Amino acid sequence: MNATTRPVAVITGSSAGIGAATAHELARLGFEVVLGARRLDRIQALAGELGGRAQALDVTDAASVQAFAAQVSVAAVLVNNAGLSRGLDPVEKGSEAHWREMLETNVMGLLRVTRALLPALSRAPLAHIVNVGSVAGLEVYAGGGGYTATKHAVRAISQTLRLELVGRPIRVTEIDPGMVETEFSLVRFDGDAARAKKVYEGLKPLGGEDVADCIGWVVTRPAHVNIDQIVVKPIAQASATVAARKQS
Ligand code: NAP
């Protein structure tokens, strides 16, 4: 791996959706992107295209996170984006495996990656942690017991980090998107493409690039400015559960 003079931006979950779009945006803004996800072929192709680096990362695996972090000596930006939802069952019928996977990925994974990369972030003159939360961290909905709990936790962690890092040149931002059309619903519904498509029916959802645009903006503010939080939704979405849909 070649050393470059570009500031390094580490993006977890960059093999698809918001993470891949963020890789494009941060590369465009002049960062050397370091990409992590389990689907190595995808991030290798993207890193090749963007002049970045790729390494397999499973945020649920402590050894994988350690190996990933070891290749980064200085990081200006960490985007904690890796995350997923599984199922939409009420708690009464909830799957223990689904809850565990969401908690391990969205909460434990984010904590683990942050701890592993804080030394590299501390070596940068100005660093930034961007946590991708969700409107599900601000609101709840029936069937979202596991997922909304994890995104409320992301909110708590972002606020905690801001308290712990105050006085150091490390900014902390939380980006809370509403509906974004990515592989998210496909993963939630276990590959059921028809069910996933229905989530976005009759409205124009955000694309990954809309969220990436917010991330690019927060990391390029003047050094004394910390954007704490951005909530970004499609114009057709009023809340996690209320959206205006056109009949087709
Ligand atoms: P996506 O297209 O499914 O992308 C999810 C990314 O996370 C993939 O790159 C996936 O890569 C990665 N990932 C999942 N588990 C991982 C693990 N154990 N280790 C490393 N990477 C892992 O979904 P997305 O919409 O872009 O989601 C990105 C983030 O946005 C998530 O935190 C999600 O909760 C949040 N979000 C999404 C929406 C939405 O409507 N789409 C709304 C609000 C918030 P691999 O499978 O290759 O590992």
pLDDT of residue 4: 64
Determine which helix (DSSP H) or strand (DSSP E) holds 113, and give its type and residue range.
helix 110-122
Q: What are phi and psi of 112, to 5 degrees?
A: -60, -45
Which residues sit opposite 54 in a β-bridge?
Answer: 35
pLDDT at 58 over 70: yes
Give residue 73 CA to ligand 1 midpoint distance, Å.
Answer: 25
Determine which helix (DSSP H) or strand (DSSP E) holds 156, and give its type and residue range.
helix 145-165
Please say whether the dihedral angle defined by the alpha carbons of residues 17, 20, 21 and 26, taken in this order, is positive or negative.
positive
Judged by DSSP in three states, 108 sits in helix
Query: Could you give the CA distance from residue 65 to residue 56 in angstroms, rounded to a whole number?
Result: 9
Question: Could you tell which of 184, 200, 214 is best to mutate to test the pocket of ligand 1, judged by most ligand atoms within 8 Å of the CB?
Answer: 184
Query: Could you give the CA distance from residue 116 to residue 133 in angstroms, rounded to a whole number?
Result: 20
> Hunting for tokens 């959706």 — which residue is that?
17
Give residue 162 CA to ligand 1 midpoint distance, Å.
Answer: 23
Query: Which residue in 147, 184, 189, 200 is the catalytic one?
Result: 147
Sorted by where each starts, the structural domains of the chain and their CATH numbers stand as 8-232 (3.40.50.720)
Confidence of residue 247 (pLDDT cuts 50, 70, 90): confident
Which atom of ligand 1 approaches the CA of 60 most closely? 18
Cβ of residue 19 lying under 6 Å from some atom of ligand 1: yes
Q: What is the pLDDT of residues 102-129, one digit of tens each?
A: 999 999 999 999 999 999 999 999 999 9
Token pair in block for residue 233? 């939704």
pLDDT of residue 1: 41
pLDDT of residue 152: 98
Q: Is 141 a catalytic residue?
A: no
CA angle 114, 35, 133 (to 5 degrees): 50
Cβ of residue 60 lying under 6 Å from some atom of ligand 1: yes
Confidence of residue 30 (pLDDT cuts 50, 70, 90): very high
Question: Which spans in 92-239 are helix H?
Answer: 96-102, 110-122, 145-165, 184-188, 193-198, 208-219
Q: What is the pLDDT of residues 177-227, one digit of tens each?
A: 999 999 999 999 999 999 999 999 999 999 999 999 999 999 999 999 999
The radius of gyration computed from the CA coordinates of the chain, to the nearest angstrom, equals 17
Query: Could you give the CA distance from residue 8 to residue 124 in angstroms, rounded to a whole number?
Result: 9
